[in-house]
Amino acid sequence: MNCRIVPSICSYCGTGCGVLFLVVDGRLMGTLPMKTHPVNEGKLCIKGWNLHEYVNSFIRLKSPLLKKDGRFRKCTWEEAIGFTADRLRSIVREHGPDSVGVLVSAKMSNEENYLAQKFARVVIGTNNVDHCARL
């Protein structure tokens, strides 16, 4: 049995508690509070203690999906990315870059937010970037 403890940050509210993920044989088994963390000092709330449960949820999306005739079907990454890139390109060509909006996320990392807004501003060419800070 291979048991590892991986430090992480709780992904619920904005408090930012330090957590430890308990990984046994490559499977996420539990969440523990980080004792030395400056924010939560070894305590967690009910959501934090159960952080691993949504990660392991069986209803997680496992494959890219494309909608055809009103139904989703599983597809490869190449198909999904190719379809999206083609559609975005033709919309930008026809209606201009400001006809596209990107909603970035308060659930993504800093790196991913940086890339997402860079994508909107450079690749699409629009400042229509926002997220749910207000909601």
Partner 1 sequence: MTNSIAEIEDSRCIFVIGSNTTECHPLIARRIYRGKEKGAKLIVADPRKIQLGRFADIAVNHRLGSDVALLNGIMHVIVKNGWQAKEFIEKRTEGYEELERTVSEYTPQRVSAITGVDPGKIERIAELYALNRPASLLYAMGITQHSTGVDNVKSCCNLALLCGNLAVQGGGVNPLRGQNNVQGACDMGGLPNVFPGYQSVNDPGSNEKFSKAWGRKLSDRVGYTITEMVPAMEEGRLKALYVIGENPKLSDPDWKHLDAAIRRLDLLVVQELFLSETAQIADVVFPAASVAEREGTFTNSERRCMRFRKAVEPMGNALPDWEIIMKLSNAMGYPMSYESAKAVFNEMSALTPSYAGMSYERLGLDGLTWPCPEPSHPGTPYLYKERFLRVNGKAKFHGIAYLDPAELPDEEYPYFLTTGRMFAHYHTGTMTRVSPHLDAEQVGGYVEIHPADARDLNITEGDIVVLSSRRGRMEAPARLTHTVEPGVFFLPIHFGENPANVLTNPAFDPIAKIPEFKVSAVKAEKLREP
How far is residue 90's CA from residue 112's CA, in Å, rounded to a whole number? 25
Among 1, 2, 3, 61, binds partner 1 (CB under 8 A): 61
CA atoms within 13 A of residue 23's CA, in its CB half-sphere: 12
Q: Which of 2, 3, 32, 60 binds partner 1 (CB under 8 A)?
A: 60
Nearest alpha carbon to residue 74 among 88, 64, 83 = 64
Residue 34 identity (one-letter amino acid): M
Say which DSSP state 22 is in: E
Q: Please, which residues have CB within 8 angstroms of residue 11's CB and are 6 or more apart in sequence? A: 51, 107
Number of residues interacting with partner 1: please give it, by CB under 8 A. Answer: 99
CB of 93 to partner 1, least distance (A): 11
Which parts of 12-51 interact with partner 1 (CB under 8 A)? 12-18, 21, 23, 26-28, 34, 36-40, 43-51
Q: Which is nearer to partner 1, 1 or 53 (CB)?
A: 53
- 1 vs 67, which CB is nearer to partner 1? 67
**Min dist. Cβ of residue 64 to partner 1 (A):** 6
User: Are residues 120 and 113 in contact, defined by beta-carbon separation less than 8 angstroms?
Assistant: no
Which residues in the 62-91 window bind partner 1 by CB under 8 A? 62-67, 72, 77, 80-85, 87-89, 91
**Cα distances (Å, whole numbers) of residue 83 to 13, 86, 134:** 35, 5, 31
One character per residue 110-129, x = contact with partner 1 (rule: CB under 8 A): xxxxxxxxxxxxxx-xxxxx
